[in-house]
Amino acid sequence: MLEARGVSVRFGGLTAVDAVDACFAAGELVGIIGPNGAGKTTFFNALSGVTAPTSGEILARGQRLTGRRAERFAARGVARTFQTPRVFAEMTVRDNIAFGLRFAGRRPRRFWLWGEERDVPWSLRTPESILALIGLPQLAALPAAAITPSQQRLLEIGMALATRPRVLLLDEVAAGLTEAEVEQMARLIRRLRDELDLTVVWIEHAVTTLLRHVERVIVLHQGRKIADGTPAEVVRHPEVVEAYLGDEMADAGSGAAA
């Protein structure tokens, strides 16, 4: 569904992403972890067309998109969220979702057998159905500015889903959430993957929670990919343990092995 081939991103003399190869298959739930400054978000920016790679290639559903604008990635079914939720604060929650539907260039049709809507899951056809899917139907009429930061994170996921993606890139959607909210978010992510048959790639600092829910983990360190495997394999990788230099990976390892 989405592939990076030898992707590097440089800013002047700084190499933020260093020749990373990664392939994300249909229906996978993959986590990306690494210390601060490891290049995770820059890599996401390349995967979603926000930043053009300095070298290497990006392919989405078999089409080469290297150097194309983010709109082309969206048209090929790649959607993403950001570390800080990007919602339209003065618009209602419902209208934020409606904007996502318009951005995708797809409007609900009266008869589902007509045109492209026949392949769209029922839960992604209207603002109301998307709000129900992410658990915010009761907030539809409120301005986005009036809902909590954790609800804004859910709203941004809903806006991404409104573009009817095949690949969903989630950048630290658990940041700033309580422990209970982090677990709820992780369960929602897994449910969205299962119900919508999405490929989900998830960057997160809440490593222990992430490793309990993903099936594969990629570890970046200083812009390089140092590990790629199941959670149980990755937490035992010597370079991964060294890169984290603390108890976080040991704790994550016990959770992954459970």
251 and 170 in a common domain: yes
Q: Choose among 128, 138, 93, 92: nearest CA to 108.
A: 128
Average pLDDT in the 53-81 region? Answer: 90
Cα(229)–Cα(185) distance, rounded to whole angstroms?
A: 23
- Is 8 part of any domain? yes
Domain range for residue 102?
Answer: 87-164
Question: What is the tens place of the pLDDT at every residue in 140-171?
Answer: 999 999 999 899 999 999 999 999 999 999 99
37 and 96 in a common domain: no
113 and 32 in a common domain: no
Question: What is the tens place of the pLDDT at every residue in 214-256?
Answer: 999 999 999 999 999 999 999 888 888 887 645 455 555 555 5
Q: pLDDT-based confidence at 70, cuts 50/70/90?
A: confident
Task: Choose between 202 and 67: higher pLDDT.
Answer: 202
Domain boundary among 113, 138, 164: 164
- Is 198 part of any domain? yes
Instruction: Give the count of domains, the chain.
Output: 2
Angle at 192 between CA 6 and CA 67, to 5 degrees: 30
258 and 176 in a common domain: yes
Domain boundary among 164, 194, 220: 164
158 and 130 in a common domain: yes
- Is 224 part of any domain? yes
User: Tell me, what's the pLDDT at 157?
Assistant: 95
258 and 172 in a common domain: yes
Q: Distances in Å between the alpha carbon of 139 and those of 65, 127, 154?
A: 37, 12, 12
18 and 51 in a common domain: yes
Average pLDDT in the 122-136 region? Answer: 93
- Is 82 part of any domain? no
| Mean pLDDT score of the chain | 87
| 109 has pLDDT over 60 | no
User: Tell me, what's the pLDDT at 106?
Assistant: 52
Residues 173 and 81: beta-carbon distance below 8 Å: yes
Average pLDDT in the 11-19 region? Answer: 94
92 and 34 in a common domain: no
- Is 148 part of any domain? yes
Domain boundary among 137, 164, 191: 164
Q: pLDDT-based confidence at 118, cuts 50/70/90?
A: low
158 and 53 in a common domain: no
52 and 170 in a common domain: yes
Q: What is the largest CA-CA distance in the chain?
A: 57
State the DSSP code for 170: E
251 and 183 in a common domain: yes
Q: What is the CA radius of gyration of the chain?
A: 18
Positive or negative, the Cα torsion across 41, 42, 44, 49? positive
Indicate the residue type of 146.
A
Cα(54)–Cα(46) distance, rounded to whole angstroms?
A: 10
135 and 21 in a common domain: no
Task: Choose between 121 and 91: higher pLDDT.
Answer: 91
User: Tell me, what's the pLDDT at 189?
Assistant: 95
Number of helices and strands in the chain (H, E): 10, 10
- CATH assignment of the domain containing 204: 3.40.50.300
Average pLDDT in the 18-23 region? Answer: 96
